[in-house]
Homo-oligomer: A and B are copies of this chain.
Amino acid sequence: MIEHDIFRALADPTRRTIFEKLANGSMNASTLRQGMDISQPAMSQHLAVLRAAKLVREQKEGRFVNYEVDPDGLALIAQWLAKYRAYWPARIDALKLLLKDMDQ
């Protein structure tokens, strides 16, 4: 179940930080570690979890592995969220912002 992989992957704060960094630009695993106080194997393991959840994808470049955000994972979250649209109108104010962003 990929849906389970996604929520489990995002349940970890370190992985959310990694994902957020990648959202601001692709980079390889070593660069990703900078300023994060995390060991190389730990980073590698986190990236494996994010990859399994289709939240990031890799692109091998020589001995480097460039990581970038995978839109598939985000689309799946959007689909999950869409199932509960019946409950959204109750918080229109918070939603306006989202709608405005999406409408371009």
Measuring CB to CB, which residues of chain A are less than 8 angstroms from any residue of chain B? Answer: 1, 3-4, 7-8, 10-11, 13, 16, 20, 23, 69, 71-72, 74-79, 81-88, 90-91, 94-95, 97-99, 101-103
Contacts and interface: CB of A to CB of B under 8 A. Distances in A.
B79 A23 contact: no
15 contacts: A1-B13, A3-B16, A4-B16, A7-B11, A69-B84, A71-B87, A74-B84, A74-B87, A75-B88, A77-B77, A77-B81, A78-B98, A79-B97, A79-B98, A81-B98
A50 B71 CA distance: 27
A7 B4 contact: no
Q: How many copies does the complex hold?
A: 2
A78 B75 contact: no
A85 to B, nearest CB: 5
A77 B79 CA distance: 12
A92 B86 CA distance: 22
